[in-house]
A and B are shown apart, each in its own frame.
Chain A
């Protein structure tokens, strides 16, 4: 008799364990007909999320087949690492933001679903309105695999007060003249650092591990890390070695802030930085505590070259709800919602690329600044170099390029970069 309770206990334990295991193995399993969409994003900005939720709520009101739409921020420092790890674990989001450098990698490997038919067939979507220069990176064989929802040009932020205090000329007056060059900016930055102790030129997103965030500068040298087809390393080309030598010299004389791996770069919004290369959204952090300007990127040896930072939204092909996710994406990025998204993300629709729309996105910028630094720049701007093997090659480049940042020989370092990068690029 005393054994019965024990047997019951054992059965109970087994039942609980089995139930737990079954429960663990099918997280969030939906019943037939129910669709719960998730979109992986890297922004944790509450205003961004509130706007996304508002658009999603409008969509849900008219689509009974979709139960919920969740925007999941992947807070991993390295978004792509977080996203791919999540996918490797079988937890596949239905939609995902993709940074531009990884675009070919995701498209070539078949991660993203083809959006062309849905976008073309969706009434009022107006695919023709999308700027070809913006969609080029996200296409393969004429088909579109992600919507370039953020199309934000880099510009030069200038602290006018610091320049005035240092007795330097008004840089805004130089725009459009032959003197508006990186050399001029570097000379002024060095003079500012020497006279006031403030930081000269900062590229906020640049660090040795994010080496390609120097694109807004080296683009006007005509430099790029690899050929357009991403098959051959071009770090040893004169354009790149000339740029890196110039950058190294500017760092050495204090015109450019010192390169650090983990320490945060000086912040323009503090008012202690003369120049900063950043995107439109950085203007949101500025106020009237100091006078500042927003100018197009200066010219390098090869002239002026606009550079855009892009991000796309794609539908993950392995999603259980590809059709529903694609349909939602067509709604999320239609002309009306793109105008709402333009509050934070400069649009890739030609009809929205105007002063009135972008003024809403960056109310602190004047119409003239928007026209000269954004609207005039976007059509001919380039995006950061990308590659189908970007994830594999970037840390190799980063490692081999490190000596440049600490004053090492540029020729040796770039030769070392190509020695490690070329075998990967050439695969």
Chain B
């Protein structure tokens, strides 16, 4: 207590000096960050909301206020619902596969086995590979006459055009994305697993808990904050996916991979309807915000130390 008093007393002259002094110097220090956030975040966001209330065609230069017409049109547009469905399936596929696979890999890598570091590097390496290179390689592998079908042919199986067949295109992109990103969540989970105190696990074992019980009753709750973080980041990332769609399928075939960000891109930059595209952007923002808030607010029910 006396220490705290001494500290407060010692800082008083400095604070008084700053209070008395020019506040501008402090504002100057935070100004670059504030200006950056305002200029690159808040202003564009407000502008997008404003654009979504207008019909803006860059080719003609027309910019006319239409109120909520773009939103009315959006909720009557079948392609919007197709893209919503694609985004939902893509998001669920990515989040479930990525988190489960990452956790399994992390549990495996948490053991002290010979050559485990090589195994770890193998799964993490796609994370640092350019998405362009990654997509190009997979594009060749999944082409009708590509490596995957060539391998299947060796076993007498006729492969399909994985990225051109409406039945397989979305699943193929999900798998490509999961392999690309699983290493990041794997590392996060591995760090969390290594932070679980050994004495707690030992106590559980002494109480008779088997490996499965130990995982679900001790390990998983202990790493649940990391699961929450990985879940939020993966959900946001899956709903914002653009590059692999552009590089692999361009939203096709038959709109099966037309996720919301790509629908937005097509509407704005190919169909040149910036106002309508802005409405899609606002709806996409609300969806991501809603899902993120739902995950965050549900944390008290399942995340350790949140009660």
Contacts and interface: CB of A to CB of B under 8 A. Distances in A.
Given A88-B274, A391-B271, A405-B164, A109 B144 contact: no
B31 A13 contact: yes
| Majority DSSP secondary structure for residues of A touching B | helix
B292 interface: no
B255 A399 contact: yes
B28 A81 contact: no
A256 B214 CA distance: 59
A391 B274 CA distance: 13
A392 B266 CA distance: 9
A263 B251 contact: no
A185 interface: no
Given A110-B60, A260-B144, A400-B254, A3 B271 contact: no
The interface centre, meaning the residue of A17, A259, A395, A400 with most chain B CB atoms within 10 A of its CB, is A395
Interface stretch (B90-98, B117-125, B186-194, B242-250): B242-250
Given A10-B28, A260-B143, A394 B270 contact: yes
Interface string B124-138: 000000000001000
A114 B24 CA distance: 56
B25 A9 contact: yes
Contacts of A13: 28, 31
Contact of B161 (A80, A258, A396): A258
Q: Which of A81, A105, A111, A406 has the most CB of B within 10 A?
A: A406
Interface string A400-422: 10110110000000000000000
Interface residues of A, number: 41
B269 A402 contact: no
Contact of A84 (B35, B58, B254, B258): B58
A78 B272 CA distance: 12
A68 interface: no
B273 A392 contact: yes
B252 A7 contact: no
A295 B269 CA distance: 38
Contacts of B252: 208-209, 261, 398-399, 402
Contacts of B65: none
B59 A109 contact: yes
Nearest to A398: B252
A364 interface: no
A263 B24 CA distance: 57
Contact of B164 (A2, A111, A261, A392): A261
Contact of B271 (A2, A395, A402): A395
Given A10-B28, A85-B269, A109 B60 contact: yes
B270 A259 contact: no
Contact of A406 (B58, B161, B274): B161
A402 B22 contact: no
A406 B162 CA distance: 11
A3 B61 contact: no
Given A3-B22, A262-B139, A81 B250 contact: no
A403 B61 contact: no
Contacts of A394: 270
Given A208-B252, A260-B144, A399-B251, A84 B272 contact: yes
Given A2-B21, A262-B247, A405-B164, 18 more contacts: A80-B270, A84-B59, A87-B59, A258-B144, A258-B161, A260-B164, A261-B163, A262-B248, A263-B139, A391-B271, A392-B271, A395-B251, A398-B252, A399-B258, A400-B254, A402-B252, A403-B253, A406-B253
12 contacts: A7-B22, A7-B24, A9-B25, A81-B269, A87-B59, A111-B60, A258-B143, A258-B144, A263-B139, A391-B271, A395-B251, A406-B164
Q: List the 8 closest A-B pairs by CB distance, nearest first.
A: A88-B58, A402-B253, A81-B269, A402-B254, A258-B144, A6-B22, A109-B60, A263-B143
